[in-house]
Amino acid sequence: MFTIDLLKGKGVPAKTCPEGVAIVVVAFAVPLIIALVMLCGFLRNRIVISIQTGAIANYDEKIIQLADAVQLQKSFENEKNTVNSLLAEVASNISGHIQWSPVLVTLVENMPGSVFLTQLDVKQDNVKVKMPQKDDPKKIIETMVPAKTLQMSLLGSSPAGCDKEVRDFRDRLGAAIPAASRQPLEDIKVAQQVAKFEEKDAVSYKIDFIFKPRL
């Protein structure tokens, strides 16, 4: 077989070798691989960012819920402190009042037969006392506190027949009233004067049971 080269060797294609083909393939493959790796990394980062964004949103929601819970707890704490303060004030006010029913029963049980009750009243005055300051017990302050006085008026037939019974009545009540009222007495004052009852001579007694101020 004869080969006729009319172009005198200039038109014959160069022979290819495996090394050249490999170089060309590698030259095209490396950028492609790098591009694929970058694409995979980009997609992976997008997935991670999406997951982290969802997690952050979930944490934000939990933080908001916890913030609401903390605010609610603070509200409950403030309400509890307010209620405790009111209860303390109520307890203080209750302790400053006297249950008069036991006192009236004691009075009736000890009333002598020679006199009868004409008037019964309770008077309350504010008196100035010295007491330790609540937040600083070492500091003594002056304050106004309520002081109660149980006032009663009795009427008897004559001093000769009533004086002793009224004194005994005063002494019995002086011992019984503190137990009945649960408040100590500070003083007992007795006054008497001549009076008229049904156009007859009589004697009127006024007895004041003065309670100690409640601090």
Could you report the per-residue pLDDT of 159-182, keeping only the tens digit for each? 666 888 889 999 999 999 988 888
The answer to whether position 1 is within a domain reads: no
The pLDDT of residue 141 is above 70: yes
What tokens appear for 73 in the block?
Answer: 């707890």
Q: Which of 149, 132, 150 is nearest to 141 (CA)?
A: 132
The pLDDT of residue 123 is above 80: yes
Looking at the fold, whether 85 and 135 belong to one and the same domain comes out as: no
Single residue among 42, 74, 95 that ends a domain in this structure: 95
Residue 201's domain spans which residues? Answer: 100-211
Looking at the fold, whether 197 and 119 belong to one and the same domain comes out as: yes
Looking at the fold, whether 39 and 115 belong to one and the same domain comes out as: no
Amino acid at residue number 124: Q
The model's pLDDT over 148-160, given as tens digits with 9 standing for 90+, comes to 899 999 988 776 6
Looking at the fold, whether 39 and 123 belong to one and the same domain comes out as: no
Looking at the fold, whether 81 and 109 belong to one and the same domain comes out as: no
Place of tokens 């403030």: 78
pLDDT (0 to 100) of residue 10: 57
**pTM to 2 decimal places:** 0.53
Mean pLDDT of the chain: 77
- Residue 139, Cβ density class (10 Å: 0-12 exposed, 13-18 middle, ≥19 buried): exposed
The answer to whether position 181 is within a domain reads: yes
pLDDT (0 to 100) of residue 176: 92
The answer to whether position 203 is within a domain reads: yes
Looking at the fold, whether 88 and 116 belong to one and the same domain comes out as: no
